[in-house]
Amino acid sequence: MNEGTRATARGEFDHLQTLADVVKSFCERYPSGAEYDPVVAHARSAGEIREAIRRATAGRGTDGKMFAMDRRIDPNAREVLTEALIDIREDIRRAIDFEGLFDLVEAVAPRRIGDLTIYNVSMRIGAYLGVVPVRYVYLHAGPLRGWKRLFGSKGNPPKRLPLASFPPELRELSPVLVEDLLCEYRDFLHPGLMK
């Protein structure tokens, strides 16, 4: 259970009436620039692309501890993903934006590697390359649940949506922060916040 889910259960968000209130609360709780995934910094500091890929897929921070989101990944699928990414490392090195990088990772991801892992690995390698999401918000796991609750949707949208398609209150944030907000506030969000 993430921190936002616990806060929702404790009623800490009950006073929030609008999406603008939610954005303000999010920015106060999660100051800009704080990295949630400790593996991002570890991958960023790699000396070369092969090592950045290995760190990104291993899911361990500089302290050697595995990030909670990575604990359930099938070890065999993780190894297949690692080797597949190393095989296309020159294509990865040439990625000019996050969308291209994400598409490369997704294209070689074996069965049992889900959307959340594809996104996390892409973010970690992207940190090494200096590319981050700029135009799109990626929807997977928690962020997808938050998006569905906010928009009252039962269906699945595309895996990424243009930031421009989100309400103005959310467009004030970067795509990465919108993804984080949708994840952390997923159990509190509802369409009434946009009225």
d(CA 21, CA 26): 9
Question: How far apart are alpha carbons 89 and 101 in whole angstroms?
Answer: 11
Distance CA 115, CA 118 (A): 5
Count other C-beta atoms under 10 Å from residue 121's C-beta: 30
Q: Model confidence over 121-156: pLDDT tens digits?
A: 999 999 999 999 999 999 999 999 999 999 999 888
CA torsion angle 47 48 50 51 (round to 10): 10
Helix, coil or strand: residue 17: coil
- For 55-68, the pLDDT digits (tens) are 999 999 999 999 88
